[in-house]
Chain A
């Protein structure tokens, strides 16, 4: 199938700003699903609120566009309600790490078979450029005109610490790598997180004088490096990308299935 077989064409052109990274992420996600040959009827995309969360509306799967921060809680109900479904949750950094932080760490702890794709543009785009928990010290947003005094989360460490069994990071510049990683995340049995560092030229780039989309994507290339690379040893400030953890641990729905057997489960 072609990429356009997976989208709801009547809603295009999409609402994201020119130069936004969301289109690249959506394209990688579609390619990953196509490569894996999933039936469209078996995929549920659950999203919250924000620029990234609008992705669900453009995709021709079962789609659930919910409340700010709550996508993973809805997704948990979907997955446990019908465990054979592939549940994918595209979320922004504010959606995942601020208002939805509690659901994020608990989904990771349970190791429920859901794939969270955290599109990290380090700012709240939809509401016009306020600083997020991923903005970082000294950087600017419309609510941090003097530079933020809030330190940023390291999303990878956060979800690894919370118990996610697949954790990876990539960027909007590294689209083929992103497709490959999303494929692996979707095939992973358990809670998988893919952080995609991306550019928001409209707000983050403008507020922090990082230039246009091309400059910002160059920056994603220059400031990141593969995990354990020689470059990282020489320059510890570089951000690593690749798969940080990929391990087997009992998946939540499977563990629950076992529990129902222990309880003498019978269909009623």
Chain B
């Protein structure tokens, strides 16, 4: 096992390399640039492809193209670049092309606060591209988990044939901590499921197997097939047939939403008996944990549920964990994007509160403590 002292963006690169990335296309943008810089160093050494494209649109398109030749492909960006990628993220969803998109969030909207922290892209990750769809979005609050979630992102993208968004934030991206890199084989790496259909036999790139998976072929292989962003049949050819359209859209959504609990990654701290349950994710979960540990020393009944999967939203998990709490406080650095989802999931939405900051300043344990005191009528 190698031990390193790295920033989050570097841990993301280590995770991608561990998962077997062999193609990266990107465009410089704060605060994600280190990911591109480090991969420009590492990928050529491993005979992988690295290219700095002319913009984020092209970067996203290039990773989809490379993935279709059989590569494990990733891009990395931040707010404005993530906006530009939305159309081609939709293309990856529609064509069921595995790929990983890292968004190290910064303050928005627009150019916003390029060097400051925010978590304002939670809903954009879910609904940024047009049309009915579902998506996997993972996040992490510390450097070790950035590594782990990056490996998970590649694994889930191959498992479900879908783009996976890694929604980090500026604090996680730039802070430094210890990283233990596991030996090869210690953490599972899922490889692409190739079709076993022999040459000369009709290959259906979009025919769902009984286990829900869709084996792939690749450009340059023996199965020439069509890949289109249009609604398509099991061969990948365009269709406007209402039945097929309905079936395809349901498949794109159901393959993720039906497996939401399987895809859900989370951590629990002192949750069992907590009267006050904090739900948080990303860097704000660090401040939440700080507060929980501090208050537990004073025998206060408070716990933290840290979400690492944001989408598909783990509705069952949230409902179960929130059951019977005195209050649920969602801590995030936006205006309640995830809080609204929590409210929708629980039986007592009036007991769900928001503790947030939207001013580019990192939310502290004191900020959260003050919010809780206000909710409890104690004043600050």
Mark A residues whose CB is within 8 Å of B. Answer: 8, 11, 40-42, 44, 46, 56-57, 60-67, 70, 73-82, 84-85, 102-103, 106, 256, 259-260, 262-268
Is there a chain A Cβ closer than 8 Å to B73's Cβ? yes
> Quick check: B47 and A260 within 8 Å, CB to CB?
yes
- B321-358 CB contact bits vs A (8 Å, 1 = yes)? 00000000000000000000000000000000000000
> Quick check: A77 and B224 within 8 Å, CB to CB?
no
> Quick check: A60 and B71 within 8 Å, CB to CB?
no
Q: Which residue of A lies closest to B46 (CB)?
A: A268
Is there a chain A Cβ closer than 8 Å to B87's Cβ? yes
Measured between beta carbons, the chain B residues less than 8 angstroms from A40 are 224
> Quick check: A74 and B61 within 8 Å, CB to CB?
yes
Contact of B91 among A56, A67, A79 (CB under 8 A): A67
Contact of A265 among B45, B71, B228, B238 (CB under 8 A): B45
| Given A73-B62, A76-B53, A103-B54, A82 and B70 contact (CB-CB distance below 8 Å) | yes
- B56-75 CB contact bits vs A (8 Å, 1 = yes)? 01110111111111110100
> Quick check: B61 and A82 within 8 Å, CB to CB?
no
> Quick check: A67 and B61 within 8 Å, CB to CB?
yes
Measured between beta carbons, the chain B residues less than 8 angstroms from A268 are 46-47
How far in angstroms is the closest Cβ of chain A from B343?
Answer: 36
Q: Which residue of B lies closest to A74 (CB)?
A: B65
> Quick check: B49 and A256 within 8 Å, CB to CB?
yes
> Quick check: A57 and B228 within 8 Å, CB to CB?
yes
Contact of B64 among A44, A61, A74, A80 (CB under 8 A): A74
Q: Which residue of A lies closest to B218 (CB)?
A: A82
Mark B residues whose CB is within 8 Å of A. Answer: 23, 25, 41, 44-47, 49, 51, 53-55, 57-59, 61-71, 73, 87-88, 91, 218-222, 224-230, 237-238
Measured between beta carbons, the chain A residues less than 8 angstroms from B221 are 41
A165 to B178, CA, bound (A): 49
A41 to B222, CA, bound (A): 6
Measured between beta carbons, the chain B residues less than 8 angstroms from A262 are 44
Measured between beta carbons, the chain B residues less than 8 angstroms from A57 are 226, 228, 237-238
A267 to B46, CA, bound (A): 6
A173 to B222, CA, bound (A): 36
Contact of B23 among A46, A73, A80, A266 (CB under 8 A): A80
How far in angstroms is the closest Cβ of chain B from A70?
Answer: 5
A239 to B219, CA, bound (A): 38
A73 to B27, CA, bound (A): 13
Measured between beta carbons, the chain B residues less than 8 angstroms from A266 are 45-47
A67 to B25, CA, bound (A): 18
